Chains A and B, each alone.
Chain A
Amino acid sequence: MAITQAEFDIVRTLIRGEAGIVLEQGKEYLVEARLSPLARREGIASTSDLIAQLGRLKGPLHTKVVEAMTTNETIFFRDVEPFEVLRKEILPKLIEARRTSRRLQIWCGASSTGQEPYSIAMTLLDIPELASWKVDILATDISTDVLARARGGLYSQLEVNRGLPATHLVKYFEKKGLEWQINDKIRSMVRFEFLNLMKPLPSMTAPDIVFLRNVLIYFDTADKSAILTRIRGVMRQDGYLFLGAAETTRSLDDRFERLPFSKTGCYRIGSEPQPALRALA
């Protein structure tokens, strides 16, 4: 049964307010598809009844609705090339720059079920020199559900089939029944924590590398700008930012400068403001 416009608006306002996620008109089916399993789990008769309960004071149900409405799709080594750029270009530069402290801080800002930070961890292990360094990977997300899954490091056959080179599967995973678990060594390299990108950033060690991939796409322009500017404020001034293939800093934060890797959105903080996007219509 389809939800009404009024019900759609309640959900839309909630997730926009809490998570910054913009749901366009016409996405009613998405609300239905995501909230009806939640209603079932909560023992509530229908999606409409569930939404009706949101009228009251903010509580755990609101959080669950926000979590249910996030899109958590991800794969190991998504888009392949960014991890090549990380390994061949960015890490060598940072190893040079941090030679005295021998420390690297990496922050993955929308880590979903963990494939991305674990792909970063596996990439780091490709560089023997880093073995004696102190490298921290902080992985954060707004959904406590995906954070719990990520900490467990258990993946289905389909998930490990996708994107993960077979050599890495053999090297870093153990078979657990029908599932696959990433080994303790890799798991211990990543710390998972809750973080809502819409809120002021909590205090954190300034990251040398920020991964913020495939999450800005859900936000409106003002929120994208604000988030990028906050990230620029917290990261090391000679650090690097990776965005998703469909994302950019252009016209959103003019201090980020795109590096010339064709298909990978990798940015650093430039000395000159960058021009906004220009168009002719």
Chain B
Amino acid sequence: MRLMLSRMLQELGFEVSQAGHGREALTHLQSHEDTDLALVDWNMPEMNGLELVEAVRQDARFTNLRMMMVTTETEMSQMARALGAGANEYVMKPFTRDVIADKLRILGLTE
């Protein structure tokens, strides 16, 4: 999954880094403040996706970072929670390449 997303983003011109879990992602972001987009799985070890979004949104350095949840969670309440916590977009698995491309356009990251 992560590999497939990485490849997709690379093809769209992004430089992509990967993190295995929420805490690693947070550490990475802290040393790469200029990251434009973080794709976040809800279910991650150490620190889950929602916790990651909450942590990032408490940090003023990341106001420009777009966060997109990519997850098997499809309950409305979960989605509302993620958006409420500061996720900018939400993609339900399974998805296609077009779904990601559409969302990046909504986020203003691609034409």
Contacts and interface: CB of A to CB of B under 8 A. Distances in A.
B74 A157 contact: yes
Nearest to B99: A161
A80 B101 CA distance: 12
B1 to A, nearest CB: 15
A157 to B, nearest CB: 6
B98 interface: yes
A250 B29 CA distance: 50
A12 B98 CA distance: 31
Contact of A175 (B74, B99, B102): B74
B105 to A, nearest CB: 5
B15 interface: no
Interface string A77-104: 1001000000000000000000000000
Contact of B76 (A75, A80, A167, A174): A174
A233 interface: no
A169 interface: yes
Given A80-B106, A170-B83, A161 B92 contact: yes
A246 interface: no
Nearest to B96: A158
Interface bin, chain A: 10 to 19
B90 interface: yes
A203 to B, nearest CB: 38
B76 A170 contact: yes
Interface centre among B74, B80, B96, B106 (most CB of A within 10 A): B106
B79 A80 contact: no
B95 interface: yes
Given A158-B96, A158-B99, A175 B89 contact: no
Interface string B65-102: 00000000011100110010001011110111011001
Contact of B89 (A75, A157, A166): A166
Nearest to B84: A170
Contacts of B94: 158
B14 to A, nearest CB: 19
Contacts of A170: 76, 79-80, 83
Contacts of B102: 75, 162-163
Interface residues of B, number: 19
Contacts of A167: 83
A273 interface: no
A166 B83 contact: yes
A80 B106 CA distance: 7
Given A80-B105, A80-B106, A166-B89, A161 B83 contact: no
Interface in A133-179: 157-158, 161-163, 165-167, 169-170, 173-175
A157 B92 contact: yes
Given A75-B102, A80-B105, A158-B96, A165 B76 contact: no
Contacts of A165: 89, 106
Contacts of B74: 157, 175
Nearest to A80: B105
Nearest to A161: B99
Interface in A169-197: 169-170, 173-175
Contacts of A75: 102
Contact of B90 (A77, A163, A166, A175): A166
10 contacts: A75-B102, A80-B105, A158-B95, A161-B91, A161-B95, A162-B102, A166-B89, A170-B79, A173-B76, A175-B75
